[in-house]
Amino acid sequence: MPTAGSRRRVHSRTGTPVPAGHAAGQHPGVLRSESGLWGPVMPRAAGVVEGSASLRWSAGRAALVDGLAALAAAALYLRLCAAHTPTYLFYWDSAQYGLAVLHFDPAAHRPQPPGYPLFVLVCRLATWLKGDVTAGVLAASAFGGLCTVLLTFLLLRTLLGRWQAVVGGLLVALSPLLWSEGQLPLPYTWASAGAAASVLCSLRAASRRTLSAAVGAGLVWGMCTGLRPELAWLLLPAMVAISFLKTGGLDMALRGREPAAPSRQRGLPRSLLALVVAAAALGVGAAWVAYCAASSGGWAIYVSAAEDVVSNVRTLPGRAAVGTLERQQSSFRLGWLLAFGLAWPLAGAALLSSRRRQVLVTALPWTLVPAAFYGLAYCGRRGYLCVLVPPMVLLMVAGVDGLTRRLSGRTRALAVCCLTLVAARLLVTYAHLNECARETERAVAHELAAARSLDPPTTLLLVWGEYRVFSFHLPAHRVWWLAGLTARDRPPLRGRVFGSHLRRDTFGGRWIPMPASASSVRLPSGIRRLVAFDSQYARTLRGATMTPAVIQGVPVWTLDVGTARRLWVRLGAWGLK
């Protein structure tokens, strides 16, 4: 029976022995002690017997604290996201995703090429669970934000520690950018979750340096390109940098045990590790492209559609940068500029953190490359910035960790509480602005409802371009119109795809090719009136006709809805009961 003096000291959470001569928080390769705010991770006094009940209790308590903290952040996000979740697909692209759930064709559902097949598959799964297309797409978007919160918590728990992960999870859950985008049935939140999952798996591969870990990281990265194809090149610098990163004590956090002996740590060369990760991701990405091409009817159609989107993106910033920025809500613009400006001094403060190399190598390429691409290609649209939420939070929490590193436990807790309260204050401010915006939207909706009384049943509605709507001309546009059609002409739409106010037994939809000259449009029979939603597009449409505001004898009811357009008036706001 071992005596008290012969008992081996072991790690209180993982159960691995601590060699003699090393303090509890000084074992090589072990993350520093997280004492002060959440209690010590390593025992300060006598150790415990390996495999004892006290060891199992300590490990279970640590896992319970982590799980409860992650669930609290996730519940907070879901509560905020559910507060203003719409009940129908009011955004133009979201209607395309609703149609893609029924029939996936990237070349037909523009402006979506080169396609988001994995997001569509997630929406189909959610639709199968919910029994409704609209509810499925909305639930899929909200679940993407939930995954972002949990993955960011796990990332910070791996790189920094428990209290840093708790604060980071709360900041992500309180991010107005993330939870407001979670209300939109769009794949932006899934782009953020996919990026976080790819980076986390890359850290695991860099820690283990085995072939299986490298292939697994590449497969996860490649799968995430099915959510947003641009993740293939936006994450490439970060993934390569992480492959060459010396992870050190991350083995303990990533694998749940002590690092292997030096002789067993020899694995793949880091250059080969990066090559294997990129090759695996390329293989999965090629499979996604092949699936999209097969769904589009062939490579030629798919490539043509993708080239059209690339051309639109290339010409968009020069012509519409001002107009695009004007459509952003001032609260989002100001909040993002403040956050982006604070990231750099906090990144400097992160140099004081014990994990400064891992944090900076992981977060800086993850932040700079997507910010430059989206800022230049899409004029900084807010949804595309969701992918930057995890690295920005990582920089901020690491900066606070570095600044408060030498403070006592109570002072550090006070600093953390102040940071969280500031985030909550920003949340309350945004919620107030968001409610004001919805009041304006409801007023505009009441105004638009007058269309119903003109000549019931009203024959609608939407004249809308693709991305080229921002360049104010009419090359190869499409018009989506809703009208009273027979059952033979109605598309096979299930559920509330285009809004809860549209009756499935009365209204349907169809694509009409729009040539360069609006006067040569061939409208189907039975159209009594067109309602032009986009004010700029409507002016161009009027000017291109022989008789202003008339196409083939059909009056075009134009609306000057600049404010409503900026606030994204929903399709259901047209008052069709």
For residue 434, is it within any domain? no
Single-letter residue type at 12: S
pLDDT of residue 517 exceeding 50, the answer is no
pLDDT of residue 490: 32
CA distance 555 to 559: 13
For residue 467, is it within any domain? yes
The residue from 351, 382, 406 where one domain ends is 406
pLDDT of residue 180 exceeding 50, the answer is yes
For residue 429, is it within any domain? no
Q: What is the DSSP string of 304-358?
A: HHHHHHHHHHHHHHHHHHHHHHHTS-HHHHHHHHHHHHHHHHHHHHGGGSTTHHH
* 130 shares its domain with 274: yes
The residue from 375, 406, 437 where one domain ends is 406
pLDDT of residue 233 exceeding 70, the answer is yes
pLDDT of residue 425: 53
| 3-state SS assignment for residue 553 | coil
* 527 shares its domain with 380: no
* 96 shares its domain with 119: yes
What's the whole-number mean pLDDT along residues 473-496? 30
Sign of CA dihedral 120, 122, 128, 130: negative
Least reliable range by pLDDT among 65-69, 125-129, 545-549: 545-549
Sign of CA dihedral 34, 37, 40, 45: positive
366-375: pLDDT as tens digits: 988 887 777 6
Work out the pLDDT band at 92, boundaries 50, 70, 90. low
Least reliable range by pLDDT among 104-118, 187-201, 218-232, 371-385: 371-385
What's the whole-number mean pLDDT along residues 120-126? 92
Mean pLDDT of the chain: 63
For residue 361, is it within any domain? yes
CA distance 350 to 391: 13
* 294 shares its domain with 178: yes
Q: How many CA atoms lie within 13 A of 448 on its CB side?
A: 27
For residue 111, is it within any domain? yes
* CA 311 vs CA 129, 211, 225, 232, 478: distances in Å: 38, 39, 21, 19, 17
Higher pLDDT residue, 166 or 118?
118
pLDDT of residue 270: 83
pLDDT of residue 64: 78
pLDDT of residue 466: 27
* 25 shares its domain with 75: no
For residue 172, is it within any domain? yes
For residue 440, is it within any domain? no
Single-letter residue type at 43: P
**What is the domain count for the chain?**
3
* 32 shares its domain with 135: no
Highest mean pLDDT among 233-237, 338-342, 358-362, 538-542: 233-237
198-228: pLDDT as tens digits: 999 999 898 888 899 999 999 999 999 999 9
* 245 shares its domain with 385: yes
Highest mean pLDDT among 112-116, 368-372, 461-465, 518-522: 368-372
Dihedrals phi, psi of 555, to nearest 5 degrees: -65, 145
Report the percentage of the chain scoring pLDDT > 70. Answer: 45
* 115 shares its domain with 40: no
- Sorted by sequence, the CB contacts under 8 Å of residue 478 that are 6+ apart come out as 110, 465, 466, 511, 512, 513, 514
pLDDT of residue 277: 92
Domain carrying residue 10: 1-51
pLDDT of residue 567 exceeding 60, the answer is no
Higher pLDDT residue, 159 or 510?
159
Q: How many CA atoms lie within 13 A of 493 on its CB side?
A: 27
pLDDT of residue 445 exceeding 50, the answer is no
Higher pLDDT residue, 331 or 358?
358
* 223 shares its domain with 312: yes
pLDDT of residue 196: 95
For residue 311, is it within any domain? yes
* 279 shares its domain with 146: yes
pLDDT of residue 152: 93
pLDDT of residue 482: 33
* 244 shares its domain with 389: yes
pLDDT of residue 181 exceeding 50, the answer is yes
What's the whole-number mean pLDDT along residues 246-267? 50
pLDDT of residue 173 exceeding 80, the answer is yes
* 396 shares its domain with 518: no
pLDDT of residue 147: 93
